[in-house]
Structure 1
């Protein structure tokens, strides 16, 4: 009897244990169903419910894609159902106001690929982009080797048509593109002349590649240390250039002479004070506005570098576009280290009218690169030299 009772008790205990185990398994299964089934695509149950309410659940099932960006937008109650497809492909970034920022970007008209690129390439400039109007060229700006993130706001705001253009706006629209926008802004063309002075130290001024224009200024006391008088055979009066430039000018003039072409250095190095007097005389003669188009203010002239030469032809007239000497120089001067500094139809870029007589020494290597680029030196500095560095 005792043995039978013990057996019955054990059976009851075993049944209880089995029931408890089954109950436990059912609880686990229920939890699994609660947690796992709604999250089989990675989303929380509440998020899935929103998808169902907005009739997007079937799309989730079709794509079988989890998007933390989409889920976070729903959880933060910052979800806009019209951007459902965009959210799916926007890479999530752990930052404050991320969803708010991408909503702003989407509202402006940017797509998921654009937004992913912004966060990958210019994450510090999201506020800059959202604070401006839609710009279809931002992705193009970013793709350029000479793009500078710190200039992005200026690229977006820049419109050369509304600034100091001397061209017809129709021509401008056809002629310039996003590459020019980045180049021009890098060259400070979005700034008024003389409003953004960049002082050039003596060390910088002594470099052959230094640029001097209406943004880069020389000290009034700067004078090159190696000024050399050009051989009188190739100069109008006493003319000086830095030694390397003087030697190359003489070599170039000598080689041209072998082809019965004569050139002379008509105006070369000018001191700060000399340029100041010259500029003031031009202002008095032609008025301020006109003088600004062809004469540099003191401190802003390449002639102070001892690297610029105004060339005269065999008839002792300043070189003209129709001269044979001009044609030869355009095709060959870079081989001696010189470039035409203020080309035709580049007034807006250089700040000066076309000067067919004004050549600048850069050294053979750099002059060749500028010549082959078909850019003005201002553009080259803002583009290729920045890219190289």
Structure 2
């Protein structure tokens, strides 16, 4: 089986990630805030990992909060902000259900608007400026890169416009953290969400968000934090206020190893390796006239996610065929129905291929062989 589903989770991980997780589980028994000597070891690991994330995203202001998944992080942010006087909410047409389903739950409370995006997937900043002037934003949420077509969105430019109205800004970096060099402080991001198991090349079970501590985020989750246990209110300090329950220390160990590897190799090397693999992927797909690429604009920047449709075969049927041929990819709506409505691929969805830094020539040859087989049997 060759792997083209890196947008779901990157595979494989650096060897150091596997080694760090195994070493931590075998040699440490501590739980953060709930022990003696081992607690100190866990505390150092967590603090170091937070610092690495801050360095990666070029911030000293933001606080790092760990969650099990990016979906939970987005829920904590959005549902917490819904306790504030938030009315006018803007999103891109590329948002994941981790955003849109949460907002749908508050449909009777908010006025939801879609940022102006042209049919070629470019953002119309002039029209967005008019949108904001006509209906002043309270909250703007943007995926940094679409998980359907991989297009990188102009987060800094849009947030600069939003901040003229003192809007709260949230960027979903699930597809870009650790891959696209991005300064969340300069881009005026109040919240930046990351997924440890995607472009950071860490394990599942550890994600989170960085937050501007000057923005009041009411809590929606409660529980033990290992400190101030007599107080039935959540701690006021950040990150303790938002980190309840036992943290996934082995996953944090894996994420720490992944961040150290990234720091050693430099983020630009990851980006350009993935860009090179994306180019070779497009070369393979463009060899076949029955393949129709979706959402490609050569004037825009992309991560290594490419969606396409095969003439005469539904996406789901094609997915089953690729699976039988030993190619792991993803088909359907990819948890982003708004994106497919915008792209004209709803409700059938697309075939999504996504490369990573470890995609190699053998993988691409196997994909090419699969497409040749499909062409020969259409």
Q: Which has the higher contact order (CA 8 A, sep 6+)?
A: 2
Structure in which a larger fraction of residues adopt strand? 2
Which is higher, the Rg of structure 1 or of structure 2?
A: 1
Q: Which has the higher helix share?
A: 1
Query: Normalization by structure 1: what TM-score?
Result: 0.22
